[in-house]
Structure 1
Amino acid sequence: MTDTYYKDRVVLITGGAQGIGLGMAQAFATEGAQVVITDADEEAGKDALKRLQENKLTAAFIPCDISSEQEVVALMKAVGEKYGKLDVLINNAGIADPFTGDLQEMRMSEFDRVLAVNLRGPMLCTKYGFPLLQKAEHPAILNLSSTRAFMSEPNTFAYSASKGGIEALTHSLAVSLTEDRIRVNAIAPGWIETGPWQKESQRYEPRHTKEDKAQHPVGRVGIPADVAEAALFLCSDRAGFITGQHLVVDGGMTVKMIYT
């Protein structure tokens, strides 16, 4: 990529204030995109803008709870009024630390909340962002799935279900939006360390053991930049013949057999 590839292209990143979302915001802004960050955490949003400014990068921040249809409608209206189009929609926002207790202890309200944000949210953003994507020359949607869509630890019912839903939603949208020239793909990250990319009040320095690193054939845990590089490619014209696919970005962890 060059520093002008995304020049004048509008990129909306949900959950863009922290973690993988912030890493993608930094990457697209560096490439010259007009980045719009949306996040339900306003403290994190302000902190993200500060961090970008410190790196001589700019972005806009619009607070939004993507599980709320009313707030998503307002978000897309604001984007439309300011930019008039949307070139790239990145559905990244999600509840990353859901309930992990025993099945009998889980309240259905907790299950419903995870699906409302992780699965319903991307559908809402796609539905109401669609008219703006139609106005772009080469529109693209990128959904953030997870390797948890294909494998699980115990008691991650809601999160795994939501990410499996994202995989299905991705290929369904890809087939449905062909006549509108909108490509739709997904990235399924594995273990991505986000500690240094959290808002200031929750930031921490990671400590990974030799065992942590050894689980990955590449010899390390992932960072947001690893996902961001994949996103830059999939949302670009260089990936013009790719749609309805998912790209696993996990350092090879899901293909390595581990015996205990």
Structure 2
Amino acid sequence: MLTYQNKVVIVTGAGSGIGSVIAEQYARQGATVVIWDRDADGLRHVQATLEKEGFRIISRVIDLTVPSDIVRAVKEEHDELGNIDVLINNAGLGRSNSPYNLPVEDWDYVINTNLRGTFLCSREVAKVMSIGQKGSIVNIASTRALMSEPNTEAYAASKGGILALTHALAISLGADRITVNAISPGWIETGDYQKLKPTDHIQHPAGRVGKPQDIAKACLYLTDPANDFITGINLVIDGGMTRKMIYED
């Protein structure tokens, strides 16, 4: 049984990495998958790969820092496909720099892409979902919303904002039967998994580094119509690392 047969799923930031695997997993469950990214080459590659397997994929080059791009894209998806059932706000980026030197332009770019982009995508898609009185939104945050490495202020602030935005939207959109949840990934390896060192895996209580499939499976769970009692949560998927006390000898 294909849970997402005849469902329409939008995945942002799907031109590579976690987003491309999320898109693939929804396609395997029968969904029509719409992939957005600013990377046109990445989108073409993902679309071609999935279409070779017979999946229905629609791609659009979208810059989430341009609000009119988002409004236009949602209207086009609605006009072509009808209801939008699932939105995965996966797109995100960072700019690493000392807080003493971080240019305000870099701060704005990260916040506008990660946080404002998530809000605008959610708002515009929710307008469509509300017509059918159902839908699910998942925002991909990060464990960096809960803990930090040096010089990641813009990224951490954007992901922390996504967590707050998630529970706020869950309350505001609940009356329209739209669930809104967040996933905070830890170390999810999107490169060559075989090149990881044993110490990379051993440091995780779960015994291994994460894979994009770990995040995709959580998305499938949270957006399953049978799980509509789950809303407003942040699901941390990090192999237990945020629960591990680390002290230097």
Q: Same fold (TM over 0.5)?
A: yes
Counterpart in 1 of 2:68? Answer: 70
Is residue 45 of structure 1 aligned with residue 43 of structure 2? Answer: yes
Moved over 3 A (4+): 135-138
1:1-260 equivalences under 5 Å are 2=1, 4-95=2-93, 98-136=94-132, 138-195=134-191, 207-260=195-248
TM-score, scaled relative to structure 2: 0.95
Compute the displacement of 1:206 (Å).
5.4
Q: Supply the distance in 1 between the matched residues of 2:148 and 2:213 (Cα, whole angstroms).
A: 24
Q: Supply the distance in 1 between the matched residues of 2:127 and 2:154 (Cα, whole angstroms).
A: 31
Q: Give, as a single letter, the amino acid of the residue that structure 1 aligns with 2:135.
A: P
Q: Helix, strand or coil for the counterpart of 1:72?
A: helix
- Alpha-carbon contact 1:86-1:136 (below 8 Å) kept: no
Q: Supply the distance in 2 between the matched residues of 1:101 and 1:62 (Cα, whole angstroms).
A: 31
**Range with greater deviation from structure 2 (65-74 or 131-140):** 131-140
- Alpha-carbon contact 2:19-2:90 (below 8 Å) kept: yes
Compute the displacement of 1:37 (Å).
0.3
Q: Helix, strand or coil for the counterpart of 1:222?
A: coil
Superposed CA deviations along residues 52-105 of structure 1, whole A, max 9, x for unmatched, are: 13444331101101121110011011101111111011111111xx22222222
Q: Supply the distance in 2 between the matched residues of 1:24 and 1:136 (Cα, whole angstroms).
A: 24
Compute the displacement of 1:226 (Å).
0.4
Q: Supply the distance in 2 between the matched residues of 1:111 and 1:5 (Cα, whole angstroms).
A: 40
Q: Give, as a single letter, the amino acid of the residue that structure 1 aligns with 2:184.
A: A
Q: What is the total number of aligned residue pairs between the two structures? A: 248
Q: Helix, strand or coil for the counterpart of 1:105?
A: coil
Q: Supply the distance in 2 between the matched residues of 1:127 and 1:8 (Cα, whole angstroms).
A: 23
- Alpha-carbon contact 2:170-2:179 (below 8 Å) kept: yes
Q: Supply the distance in 2 between the matched residues of 1:101 and 1:72 (Cα, whole angstroms).
A: 29
Summarize the Cα distance change of 1:136–1:20 in structure 2 as closer, same or farther, 3 Å threshold.
farther
Which of structures 1 and 2 has the larger relative contact order (alpha carbons within 8 angstroms, sep 6+)?
Answer: 1
Unpaired segments ≥5 residues, structure 1: 196-203
Q: Supply the distance in 2 between the matched residues of 1:49 and 1:244 (Cα, whole angstroms).
A: 31
What is the aligned-residue identity percentage?
44
Q: Helix, strand or coil for the counterpart of 1:113?
A: helix
Q: Give, as a single letter, the amino acid of the residue that structure 2 aligns with 1:73.
A: V
Compute the displacement of 1:184 (Å).
0.5
Q: Supply the distance in 1 between the matched residues of 2:32 and 2:218 (Cα, whole angstroms).
A: 19
Compute the displacement of 1:36 (Å).
0.3
Over the aligned positions, Cα root-mean-square deviation in angstroms equals 1.4
Superposed CA deviations along residues 163-216 of structure 1, whole A, max 9, x for unmatched, are: 000000000000011111111001000000112xxxxxxxx5652112211121
Q: Give, as a single letter, the amino acid of the residue that structure 2 aligns with 1:123.
A: F
